[in-house]
Structure 1
């Protein structure tokens, strides 16, 4: 094999190793917006700052709540938006969540005064920090 052929092969192998390494790194990803039945509360995740957004959609006197689970970190939170109809409250986990960690969440409605959940979406969705 000629020297130029070896260099070409080495260059190709190096490029492939870079691609494999990049593909195996976990990419962060925003999560989809998920709304409770009847579109009363909506929740979504953005990975820049690892932020949960809790939107109170219905003018029904109830608060919107995001249930958040990051099991690998032992985080099980209920994040409340008691600001009223049409508002969005955000909660940032910042650097508390390592890159590549899956953040599960779902919307609920509840009574702010007693911190009682009335109902939650049956399914969960997720984003990646």
Structure 2
């Protein structure tokens, strides 16, 4: 095999291995269980940032509940600023680690979650 063909084959193999070993990134979002999506959260994998939206003037706060791989959780991020607002939470997660979350409505003053409003959980990756 000539030097040029060996280099091309080696470079191609290295690129394939690097591509296969790269972690998958997926941005995701979830809403509360109501059909109007009164509360919503998005997760941006790159940078590990949650954004919690209050999307309905219903007197309730939007609440994000999330769990980490080390068993910590739920951790709460409240958006109590009212309809049409958003709150960001910047996490520091090791690349490739997971975070599981769901969105609910609640009463910020008493820190009470309204369980019947909680949407489905989802797991995403940093």
Normalising by structure 1, report the TM-score.
0.82
Q: Is 1:100 paired with 2:96?
A: yes
Offset, 1:26: 0.9
Gapped regions of structure 1 (runs ≥ 5): none
Extract structure 1 runs of 4+ deviating beyond 3 A. none
Unaligned runs of 5+ in 2: none
- The structure in which a higher percent of residues are helix is 1
RMSD of aligned residue pairs (Cα, Å): 1.9
Q: Does 1:111 align with 2:82?
A: no
Deviations 1:78-121 (A, max 9, x none): 1100101111111111xx20111122211101111110101211
The size of the alignment, in residue pairs, is 122
How far apart in 2 are the matches of 1:74 and 1:106? 15
TM-score, normalised with respect to structure 2? 0.84
Query: Whose radius of gyration is greater, 1 or 2?
Result: 1
